Structure 1
Amino acid sequence: MAALNRALTYCSNIHPGESWADIMHNLNSHALDVKQQLGGDAAFPLGLRIAHQAAQEVDDAAIAQFQQWCKQHNAYLLTINGFPYGTFHETRVKENVYLPDWRERERVEYSKRLGDLAVALQPDAKRISISTVPIAFKPAFKDSDWATACSHVLEVAEHFQQLTKQHGIELVLAIEPEPECVLETTEEAIEFFQRLNLPSHLKTHVGLCFDCCHQAVEFETATECLARIKAAGITIGKVQVSSALKASGLEIEKLLAFDEPVYLHQAVARCSANGALQRFADLPEFARALANGQQFDECRVHFHIPIFCEHLGEVGSTQDFLIELLPLLDTDTPLEVETYSFKAIPEHLRHGSISENIARELTWVGNLLADKAS
């Protein structure tokens, strides 16, 4: 992989496990393998998914163990995924992934705990982002919930600001818009920050986790997204480098083969008649629309597929969104490849081990950025 002047990692939510022991096992079993495959002498950044169980288990001994591991293997903590609170693999996750959401105390305390762990695990960091849910699952949210959700986000921001004062590490709560959630489109994200009305001392402590798969599913344009976020003065805590499914014409029905029981696969389809976008909470709902004779000229589906895939043989991808967006980013924006649903991809479309695919994805990003810079 070409040398980069920016931090690039992958999110460890691709590996099953909710405990701190699971995290350390995955570092030893997978992260080191990825690091070795990439080669080079640069320090290896880590994107850790820390579930609630793991966050509660970490003590001083575990912190010391992690720091020693990083020193031994020339690695460091770059970012934390604090989105999934509980079990994230091998059981039905679907809309439960957003629970507890920002209406609930559990989300507040969990997020504060992750801030505490961030400054303890990497005490020499300059900045660490912690991604989180886009307020709540949209069908479950009412307008009367806004006051509670906003006050909870502000409470965590105040906690992060105090930690920054004490430790000199800038912490960013990075809220991640996602289809079928309260924050879904870039427009909704901007409206949220206007509603939140952050005081000046907290503006750097709440931002966005910009997930490329999610915004591509919304039929948004990378250049326009970034321009609007910048104009609104919103911090991008990190960018999750991910790709969605895309199909048009006769390929559209092939998307239904990606329906599986673990994750929610929201779909956004463009109507053939008038070009309007129609949203579906999951693929079975989209399948019913097709069965009822609805006509679409293109559909995109929330399913994180390997980013080096332009086409999967039966359907396409939103890789072009990444090719447009990545060179536009500031070089201090952390990049985190996130292909957590690798095991959910139909088996005949999977090639190689998880570690081999992660290394290939990171290499693809590095080469893209190097080519654009030359």
Structure 2
Amino acid sequence: MKVNTGHLTYCTNIHPGKNWNDDFTALKDNFSFIKESVSPGQPLGIGLRLSNVSSLELSEQGNIAEFKHWLKENNAYVFTMNGFPYGEFHRTVVKEDVHTPDWTTEARKDYTIRLFTILQSLLPEGMVGGISTSPLSYRHWFKTTTDFTEAKNAATINIVAVIKALVTIANATGTVMHLDLEPEPDGIIETGREFIDWYTDDLLPTAISDLVDSFGITAIEAEALTKRHLCLCYDVCHFAIGYEDHADVLKELKEKGIAVGKIQISAALKANMDQSPDQRIAIKESFQKFNEPTYLHQVVALKRDGKLIRYTDLTPAIADFEHQDVMQWRAHFHVPISVQDIGVLQSTQQDIIEVLNLQKVAPFTEHLEVETYTWEVLPEQLKIPIAASISNELEWVIKTNV
């Protein structure tokens, strides 16, 4: 739906599905309730998530035509997609395999280009489309500096191949789309600082050289095209986990001419650890309730000296719970954004409010997507029917006056 600062939607990765039939069924079962709740009088956008299998099935002409007809009949549109998870994303152990296959592979490149082909056919005329993607790979798969660097370089080359495909599509059809790289804890790129450094030191030199050779354009034109087609996915949960200063990150991005393609509106778990022994026991017990086996729930701890300790999951973090120098924990668990207090724990909701206020004062993207995908693994006290849950999330954002 159109709000003051852009187009607001929710990501359909909240729905379980192994194939396009499952995905389409989930939309049919839930979308009408959500639209009637939050956008009865105007079109409502959909942030579409397709697995590799689903993308292959939807690419079939009959399925595309049927889905486009359904979108028209339901006053819905697709302007953004989530291309981060390639395979199954629910009811199976995902963990670090959410990065599989990573950007060092042809499979990831081909999947992403296929998603853009689908998005081009679904985009309303005149709209710019975007697809978020993984931060190149999972950093702990690479045990040496050489392996890490080689993986980053190989991934960058495949990212550039997608940029070239997007330039070709724009030249042929006039449709502009961008790939939005999403920093995440333990990704090869996990912070705003790492994204900006990779963009300026690795991506731009590689892309400019390739685009100049491929399209016969100047280096200035090649840089402009790179910046048009490769953007940042600003997942608020991920930036909050790293205790990043949102205003500073956005200011530097603007100074360097690097665009934000999408805000993913999401919240992490947090707790202040400077508490009495009884309160700390309650905090530990509460985090244990979120220690489920499906997804990675990385923890970043803030020490008294301002330094950070990074844990690869809740299990090793809980094992080190008695660390006396730690003042705060933030955990990668996408909790409902409309909730601030979760028993003795809190959410990073205030970070969302800060980012949306920055967006309100000086809009830096047109795409806003609520992404709370953990409904099935939430503790029972946080669960309400899924369509009502999505509606609550969207209504909370609308009331925040975006």
Query: What's the TM-score bracket when you normalise by the shorter of the two chains?
Result: over 0.9
Could you say what secondary structure the match of 1:290 adopts? Answer: coil
Q: Quote how far apart the aligned CAs of 1:120 are.
A: 1.5
1:8-52 Cα shifts (integer Å, max 9, x gaps): 000000000031112211111112221112243111111000110
Q: Residue 285 of structure 1 corresponds to which residue in structure 2?
A: 316
2:183 matched to which residue of 1?
A: 177
C-alpha separation in 2, matches of 1:8 and 1:123:
15
What is the aligned partner in structure 2 of residue 164 from structure 1? 170
Contact 2:261–2:365 (8 Å) recurs in 1: no
1:31 corresponds to 2:31: yes
Q: 1:285 to 1:310 in 2, by over 3 A?
A: same
Q: Name the residue aligned to 1:261.
A: 293
The CA distance in 2 between the partners of 1:143 and 1:98, in whole Å, is 17
State the partner residue of 2:220. none
**Which residue number in structure 2 is paired with residue 358 of structure 1?**
390
Please give the secondary structure, in 2, of the residue aligned with 1:162: helix
Q: Give secondary structure in 2 for the equivalent of 1:208.
A: strand
The alignment status of 1:310 with 2:316, answered yes or no, reads no
1:74-113 aligned at under 5 Å gives the runs 74-113=75-114
- Mapped to 2, the partners of 1:314 and 1:152 lie a distance apart of 44
Decide which of 140, 158, 161 is 1:152's aligned counterpart: 158
Equivalent residues in 2 for 1:168-207, closer than 5 Å: 168-194=174-200, 195-197=202-204, 198-199=207-208, 200=223, 201-207=225-231
| CA gap 1:48/1:150 in 2 versus in 1, 3 angstroms | same
Q: In structure 1, what is the Cα distance between the partners aligned to 2:387 and 2:326?
A: 37
Instruction: Give yes or no for the alignment of 1:131 onto 2:132.
Output: yes
CA 1:332/1:174 → structure 2, altered by over 3 Å: closer, same or farther? closer
CA gap 1:3/1:129 in 2 versus in 1, 3 angstroms: closer
Distance in structure 2 (CA, Å) of the matches to 1:119 and 1:279: 39
Per the TM alignment, residue 144 of structure 1 is displaced from its structure 2 partner at its CA by 1.9
Partner of 1:237: 261
RMSD: 1.7
TM-score with structure 1 length normalisation? 0.94
- Using the TM superposition, give the Cα deviation of residue 125 of structure 1 relative to its aligned residue in structure 2, in angstroms: 4.7
Partner Cα distance (1:316, 1:305) in 2: 10
Change in 2 beyond 3 A, CA 1:335/1:286 = same
- 1:327 CA displacement: 2.1
- How far does residue 278 in structure 1 lie from its aligned partner after superposition? 0.3
Question: Given the alignment of the two structures, is residue 346 of structure 1 paired with residue 351 of structure 2, yes or no?
Answer: no
Secondary structure at 1:92's aligned position in 2? coil
TM-score by length of 2: 0.88
Gap change, CA 1:342 and 1:247, over 3 Å in 2? same
Deviates more, 1:302-311 or 1:331-340: 331-340
Partner of 1:120: 121
2:260 and 2:364 in contact (8 A); partners too: no
Return the offset for 1:167. Answer: 2.0
Alignment-mate amino acid for residue 347 of structure 2: S
Matched residues, percent identical? 36
Deviation at 1:369, TM superposition (A): 1.6
Q: Provide structure 1 residue ranges, at least 5 long, that are not aligned to the other structure.
A: none
Aligned-pair CA distance for 1:332:
4.7
Question: How far does residue 314 in structure 1 lie from its aligned partner after superposition?
Answer: 2.4
Distance 1:271-1:332 versus aligned 2 partners, 3 A rule: closer
Distance 1:53 1:222 in 2: 36
> When the two structures are aligned, how many residues end up with a matched partner?
367
1:99 and 1:2, CA in 2 relative to 1: closer, same or farther beyond 3 A? Answer: closer
Contact preservation (8 Å) 2:43, 2:77 = yes
Query: What are the superposed Cα offsets for residues 312-342 of structure 1, whole Å, 9 maximum, x if unpaired?
Result: 1220010110111112121752100000012
Aligned-pair CA distance for 1:252? 4.2
- Counterpart selection for 2:352 from 322, 333, 337: 322
SS at match of 1:204: helix
Q: 1:289 Cα shift?
A: 1.2
SS at match of 1:7: strand
Q: Following TM superposition, by how much is the alpha carbon of 1:66 offset from its aligned partner in structure 2, in angstroms?
A: 1.2
